[in-house]
Structure 1
Amino acid sequence: MTANDVTASNSTAATITKKPRRKRRGGLSIQSKLLIMLLAVSLIASVIVGVIGFISGRESLRAAAIDQLTTIRELRVSEIETAMQGAQDGVALDSRNLSAQTASIAINAGWDDLQNRTLTPAQEAELEAYYADTFNPQLTERTGDPYSDTAFLPTSNAGKWAQYHLTSKFTDFDEALNVNDGGDGTPYSAATEQYGDYLSRLVTQVGYEDLLMMNLDGDVVYSAYKGVDLGTNLNEGPFQDSKLADAYREVVATNSVNAVMTTDFERYIPSLNVPTLWVVSPIGNDSQVTGVLAAQLPLSTINDVMTGKERWAEQGLGETGEVYLVGRDHLMRSISRELVENPEDYAAEVIANGTPPSIADRVVQVNGTVLLQPINTVSVEKALQGETGTSISQSYLGGENITAYSPVEIDGLDWVAVARIDTAEAFNPVNDFTRNLILSLLGIMLAVSVLSLLLAQVFTRPIRKLVEAVRGVAAGNLAVEVPQGSRDEIGDLGTAFNDMASSLRIKQELIDAQQEENQKLLLTLMPETVAARYKKGEETIAEEHDNVSVVFAELVGFDEYTQTLSGDQEITQLNLLMRGFDEAAAKTGVEKVRTLRGGYLASSGLIVPRVDNVRRAVDFAKEMRAVVERFNSQHGTQIDLRAGVDTGTVTSGLVGRTSLAYDLWGDAVSLAYRVRSVTDVPGIYVSQGVRDRLQDSVGFTEAGTVDLRGKRQSVWRVG
């Protein structure tokens, strides 16, 4: 028996009888893995079914909410179009009936008579005082702008006469509506008294805000409320640039009693700058046109239609829904629901969404959004482009909402309608559905978890018994046996374990028989021989080792990285990497042999024989690459590692005499050095012997071949 045989026998015996119990490696147990698999399959299936149901149910509920909002928008648009068409038809009929025609002729004749009458200086002073003391202060309070006392004063004799005897006598518009005689005994007063009752009843019964009558010269010859527009000229007077004046000129130019013009809202000074909308139509018949009738539609007519008389909740719009109108200038043409219901919150909400504070405060002050509140939402933009559709976007109040938008078809008006409701409210059924679905899924998951835990425990019970038996063998108890139970693969594993334990007992008996003799031989040969050779002055003392794995690694790109570093910085960075490699060696149970600049030589199974030395060597190479990757992430570098691994017989010993060095050499070392240089690509490269030892436990790809002592060997790349 050689010394190597004795050493191998002693190592085997030590492995069986003296090897300490290993700590349990970190990781999941089979029961945990089985539990996870059962849970994963069941829970994934439940989640998939839940997600499909959620998506389907959510989309259905969302579609229902959008369809409801679209229906409400269509109803409101139809109602406003019908209401405006009715107003246009009504004004056209009123302007063509015989009473309007005779009234126009008589009032025009009386107006011509007034052109020959002049006010006294005292009367003119009284008229100017009316503007200075009554009308202008009210207008300034409303608009915030100052006006001169003569800014709106008519220039014609007839206009001044009519305003002095009618307009300046009233501070209450409702009182003025019932008075048509100026008390001056003129033909004009006689005509307005005769036909004023008819014209006033049009206002009260039809619901007009005001009613004006103009002659063909542009003079406002009659006003139901005797406002400051009475007596002015729409072609040359202070209101010649108003939308009313534009509509007047257009219908007169047609010379047709069938013409009807509708103006968009404008701030009309005679109405104290309140937004005003007019429907204008010529007075006369097919033979002649004698004048023009203009009816001012009340803003409440528009608001009542768009708000459903403020019964939003009853009409399917919930707590936040509304339908509003917007003009081409992006300003509202109807009132905002938020302003009606929550005026104290309105300003803060619109200001937060980009509305200037001055405008928001003005909206709250006048309690109206027409021609004040800007709307620049996606829905308004699309509707103004002629599109009809729905969207989920930000509202003018700042929150996310669902909208249904479309243009409004009204002659003379370029309006769009938008129906909106907060998404939180509109999709509240979706939220309820989602909550119920989640609760149901949680219940299913809980039940599945409990059932999976029970099944996993039942399945792994025999495996746990086998694990305890293996631990007993590892602790030196070779008499342990696993009870035979199931007739499946686990039962076969138990039988194989019992056979293995029996075989180990037989081998242990043989080893014990030779233990004493082997121990004596080791104590006499190994220490004495090495010491004697060193004392005799031998240059080298070497020992040969079988079944040792060698790792030879070198850094790639380190030289390029250190070109810009000083010597001290280079050493510092290299030490960081080498310390990491040393820690990786300790972690994986690998012995460090020596280090070079940019290189590292290590072995597994040299000092401490290990059955799994090949696996440990490959694991160490992987850990080295991980150390390099961490270094790269910390320092922003692009260094990598190329490592070669081989297994076989090596020689170790002391080299030198005055300065001793422990080194390693042999074919395994040479082959490990060569396989790592088979390619320039960084990675872990192993010999055919390493690949055969690891088999399918690690993934390999063929990387090339190397020549060693005239023999070609395949090289494999890990991963």
Structure 2
Amino acid sequence: MSGDNSLSNSRRRATRLGSSAGTLVRRGLSIQSKLLIMLLGVSIGSTLIVGYIGYTSGTDSLRQAEFDRMTNLREAKSDAIETLFTTIETGLVLDSVGATANQAATAYTSAFAELQAQPTDPAQTTAVDSYYDDVFIPELNARSGTTSVSDIFVPQSSAETYLQNFYTVPPAGDFDAAAEVDNAGDGSTWSAVNDQYNPYFREMAQRNKYEDALILDTQGNIVYSVYKGVDLGSNVNTGPYKGTALAGAYTDALNSNVVDYVQITDFERYQPSLGVPTAWGVSPIGVDGDVVGVLAVQLPITAINDVMTGDQQWTKDGLGETGEAYIVGPDDTMRSVSRLLIDDPEAYRERAISGGLSPAVAQRIIDVGGTVELQTVDTAPVREAQQGKTGVMVAQSYLDRETLAAYGPLDIKGQQWVIVASITAAEAFAPVADFTRNLVLSIAALLVVVALLSLLLAQVFARPVRRLVGAVRQVAGGDLGVEVAANTRDEFGDLSMAFNDMSRSLQVKQALIDEQQAENDKILHTLMPESVARRYRDGDETIAEDHQDVSVLFADLVGFDDFAAGLGAEKELALLNDLVRQFDEAAQSKGIEKVRTLREGYLASCGLIVPRVDSARRTVDFALEMIRIVERFNAQHGAALSLRAGIDTGTVTSGLVGRSSIAYDMWGDAVSIANRVQALAGKPGVFISQRVRDKVGELPNMTEVGTIETKAGPQSVWQISQQRG
């Protein structure tokens, strides 16, 4: 009762304190007013908001401007390269349908047929073979990085041998010198025709920057070449260059039956040009549908590079220090030169290898001074453009650099090329970085001023906060009686008083909790050992322990139902509790650990919680004492109860069983055998297994009553009769 009165008084006192705190009149500025003054003074919120808005709008505008600039640059380059090819196509059509081309094709075809009818001069054959062995093949192998033999290239016809002997062999690989030879002075009709028309076609090739210009007759013979290479006189249908892009384009042009037909081929490596990637423009020669030959021009890769590099005036074109524009074919290799290869070959090698290019190919690119069909460009912008998409993105380049790339497909007849204009992200977004840096520095300077002012103002209201924080930490540490002084008449004062009320309330509640906890622990210890109870309180859900050398007693109280038949429920329970209490007292005195008590059963152990070397002896003594307790009970109450107890020793497992209703129990081989031992004879007494007998030795009044089967084999069961004093 005194505890209840104390608790009631504490609660009433807390209520009074809370009421007085609630009715306290506040004077002076509130904490809200002080916070408003501080926020208005330092303007941190507005500074950060304005800075953020300025940052997002400024950076977005600068980034979008750079995106638009790269898009415009890509479109300008696309227009320029598409215009170049349109000009080439137009010029090729005009040249192929012109009177000069028609007359030249007819004349060259006739002169070539005349040479073809002549027998081959062995001396000319020897000279041409020597040229292939000593000049062309070594240069081809050195330039292409392959190993070729002359047998597959040497002329097979008399006209081819004748023309190469007089026009290809003397310049010894100097194509410009070969183009200047109008007449070799051999007196042939072909030389006379060449003297008439070679200046025209040479001028055409030089004006349009063609790598070469060929005339083919309707049989596939190359009857004329400006630069007189090793393809002069060969046949694209049967010779060493059949199957090339030139041969395919020739067949298509001849079969078109349209004199204004033009076909542009993609680049491929062409051996007569020493393996240099070569693209062709091909158009039939004729008038009014009468085709007399085919004009093929070797497209100017230098002109393509001049357009893509802006004649190497990258900065003037708006590409800055790292920007470039390049073309990529459907095989994911370049169709124009890389800027870095021109600016710094060694830096190009390092970056290309870093981007995934093999060192051998990188060295090959440096050796030939070009990236066409060598530099792989398998990047996200290229893949997007190859799908017909146009756009701008930030992506890794083929040189393993983060770039801003504008991409799109090219509209070039017969080609699936794409164009990419790119610049490193660092250079592209340098204005963004500068703007961000300046903005950050400005905001940082302003925040320093704001921070100093905030520190000054914080002193006004930080002191009571610190006091409350210290008091809260003391409460968290277990000191529930802490109180703080309420020196201000604002929210901090109210908070201090509320804290004091809370502290006192917690102190009262903690006392009640401690009292209840002690009662719970007391009840828990009656149900299970201390070690198990501790684990249960700590939250273990599965508690089980294995024990060695434990003696187990399993006892059945026989006859209690008959004895209690005429008793009331309360009387019956009182007598049973008295009997069990005596069992418990005897167990405690002999060091026996009770495990479970049922209405007519008793399970106990020795050595389970406290290991004992004489656990078997103690358990036998306890069993005999239980029989004496039953006999005394019978004498006191005129009952005829009897006790049947089984004992075994060995390994057992103990633990908590169940979830919603927890029970401490023990199980295992020793428990099972103890139960079977007491049930074997079916009569009252103390029965022990062979393992128990081995531990306690020979005892008086011990008789063997049978055997039981165990995992280890048959085991004898012995009965111990109580000695009468």
Give the one of 287, 295, 298 matched to 1:296.
Answer: 298
CA distance in 1, matches of 2:363, 2:298: 27
Question: 1:307: which partner in 2?
Answer: 309
SS at match of 1:420: strand
Paired position in structure 1 for 2:705: none
- How many angstroms does 1:341 deviate by? 0.9
Residues 96 and 284 of structure 1 are in contact (CA less than 8 Å); yes or no, is this contact kept in structure 2?
yes
C-alpha distance in 2 between matches for 1:258 and 1:132: 41
Q: Alpha carbons of 1:563 and 1:209: their partners in 2 closer, same or farther (altered >3 Å)?
A: same
3-state SS of the aligned residue for 1:281?
strand
Looking at structure 1, the residues matched to 408 and 362 of structure 2 have their Cα atoms a distance apart, in angstroms, of 26
1:245-256 pair list within 5 angstroms: 245-256=247-258
Q: Distance in 1 between matches of 2:464 and 2:394?
A: 59
Equivalent residues of 1:39, 1:448 under 8 A apart: no
C-alpha distance after superposition, 1:245-301 (max 9, x if no partner): 111110000111111111111111111111112111111101511111111122110
Task: Find the counterpart in structure 2 of residue 404 from structure 1.
Answer: 406
Gaps of 5+ in 1: 6-29, 469-481, 498-544, 569-596, 598-678, 682-719
CA positional deviation for 1:550 = 2.7
- Cα distance, 1:242 vs. partner? 1.0
Asked if 1:550 is matched to 2:515, the reply is yes
Q: Report the Cα offset of residue 202 of structure 1.
A: 1.1
Task: Kindly state the Cα deviation for residue 145 of structure 1 after the two structures are TM-superposed.
Answer: 2.4
Contact 1:117-1:161 at 8 Å conserved across structures: no
Q: Could you give the per-residue CA deviations for residues 424-452 of structure 1, whole angstroms, max 9, x where no partner exists?
A: 11111111121122212222322222222
Residue identity matched to 2:417: W
Identity of aligned residues (%): 44
Kindly state the Cα deviation for residue 547 of structure 1 after the two structures are TM-superposed. 7.5
1:331-410 aligned at under 5 Å gives the runs 331-410=333-412
1:87 maps to a residue whose letter is I
Distance 2:542 2:445 in 1: 57
Aligned equivalents of 1:377 and 1:467: distance in 2? 58
Instruction: Name the CA distance, whole Å, in 2 between partners of 1:303 and 1:146.
Output: 29
Partner residue of 2:84?
83
Question: SS of 2:147's equivalent?
Answer: coil
In structure 2, distance between residues paired with 1:287 and 1:235: 23
Aligned residues: CA RMSD: 3.9
Report the CA distance between 1:105 and its aligned residue. 1.0
The range that moved more, 451-460 or 107-116, is 451-460
Any idea what SS the aligned residue of 1:190 has?
helix
One-letter identity of the residue aligned with 2:335: R
Of the three residues 317, 320, 323, the one matched with 1:321 is 323
Quick one: which amino acid aligns to residue 137 of structure 2? N
DSSP-derived class of the 2:431 partner: helix
Q: Counterpart of 1:166 in 2: which secondary structure?
A: helix
> Which range moves more in the overlay, 147-156 or 358-367?
147-156
User: How far apart in 2 are the matches of 1:464 and 1:101?
Assistant: 103
- Give the secondary structure class of the aligned counterpart of 2:292: strand
Match of 1:108 in 2: 109
Deviation for aligned residue 1:78 = 0.4
Q: Secondary structure at the match of 2:58?
A: helix
- Per-residue deviation, 1:44: 5.4
Distance in 2 (CA, whole Å) between partners of 1:363 and 1:36 is 69
Amino acid at match of 1:231: G
Aligned equivalent of 1:243: 245
Whether the aligned pair in 2 keeps the contact of 1:35 and 1:452 (CA below 8 Å) is no
SS in 2 for 1:453: helix
Query: Is residue 161 of structure 1 aligned with residue 162 of structure 2?
Result: yes
CA distance in 1, matches of 2:234, 2:469: 109
Question: What is the CA deviation profile of residues 177-236 of structure 1, one whole-angstrom value per residue up to 9, with x for unaligned ones?
Answer: 111223221211111111112111112233222111110000000011110000000111
Contact 2:257 2:289 in 1 (8 A): no
Aligned residue among 444, 447, 464 for 1:445: 447
Q: Which residue of 1 aligns with 2:95?
A: 94
CA distance in 1, matches of 2:153, 2:194: 23
Q: Distance in 2 between matches of 1:440 and 1:91?
A: 63
**Alignment partner, residue 569 of structure 2:** none
State the one-letter code of the partner of 1:107.
Y
Task: Return the offset for 1:93.
Answer: 0.5
Secondary structure of the residue aligned to 1:145 is: coil
* Alpha-carbon distance between aligned partners in 2 of 1:347 and 1:127, rounded to the nearest angstrom: 39
Larger Rg: 2
Please list, as runs of the form range in 1=range in 2, the aligned pairs for 1:117-156 lying within 5 A after superposition. 117-156=118-157
Letter in 2 for 1:52: I
The answer for unaligned runs of 5 or more in structure 2 is 6-29, 471-484, 499-509, 522-532, 550-592, 594-658, 662-725
CA displacement, residues 128-161 of structure 1 (integer Å, 9 cap, x when unaligned): 0110011111111112323223321222221111
Instruction: Tell me, in whole angstroms, the C-alpha distance in 2 between the residues paired with 1:100 and 1:118.
Output: 29
Secondary structure of 1:550's aligned partner: helix
For 1:163-182, what aligned pairs fall within 5 Å after superposition? Answer: 163-171=164-172, 172-182=174-184
The letter for the 2-side match of 1:84 is F
SS at match of 1:119: coil
How far residue 49 of structure 1 moved from its aligned partner, in angstroms, is: 3.9
Deviation sequence 1:339-365 (CA, Å, 0-9, x none): 111211111111112111111111111
TM alignment of 1:175-574, pairs within 5 A? 175-459=177-461, 549-550=514-515, 552=517, 555=536, 560-563=541-544
Deviation at 1:493, TM superposition (A): 10
2:63 is matched with: 62
- Residue 694 of structure 1 is matched in structure 2 by none
In structure 2, the residue matched to 1:644 is none
Q: 2: distance between equivalents of 1:239 and 1:426?
A: 46
Instruction: Give how far 1:336 is off.
Output: 0.5
Contact 1:39 1:449 in 2 (8 A): no
Q: Structure 1 residues 493, 324: closer, same or farther in 2, change over 3 A?
A: closer
Q: Deviations over 1:55-100 (max 9, x none)?
A: 2222221111111001000000000000110011111101111111
TM (norm. structure 2) is 0.61
**TM-score of the superposition, structure 1-length normalised?**
0.62
Q: Deviations over 1:24-77 (max 9, x none)?
A: xxxxxx99xx99996899645544443333222222211111110010000000
Aligned partners of 1:134 and 1:493: how far apart in 2? Answer: 101
- Local SS of the residue matching 1:264: coil
Q: Contact 2:96–2:286 (CA<8 Å) still a contact in 1? A: yes
| Cα distance in 2, alignment partners of residues 116 and 493 from structure 1 | 119
SS in structure 1 of the partner of residue 137 of structure 2: helix
Assess, with a 3 A threshold, how the Cα gap between structure 1 residues 564 and 165 changes in structure 2: closer, same or farther. farther
State the secondary structure of the residue aligned to 2:146. Answer: coil
- 1-structure distance, mates of 2:286, 2:513: 119
SS at match of 1:373: coil
Following TM superposition, by how much is the alpha carbon of 1:326 offset from its aligned partner in structure 2, in angstroms? 0.1
Displacement, 1:680?
Answer: 6.7
Paired residue type of 1:159: E
- Asked whether 1:71 is paired with 2:52, we answer no
| Change over 3 Å in CA distance of 1:412–1:462 after alignment to 2 | closer
Distance 1:57 1:188, change over 3 A: same
Q: Distance in 2 between matches of 1:387 and 1:241?
A: 33
- Equivalents in 1 of 2:56, 2:235: separation in Å? 66
Structure 2 distance, partners of 1:322, 1:383, is: 17
**1:560-709 correspondence to structure 2 within 5 Å:** 560-563=541-544
CA displacement 1:359-398 (0-9 Å, x = unmatched)? 1111111111001000000110111111111111111010
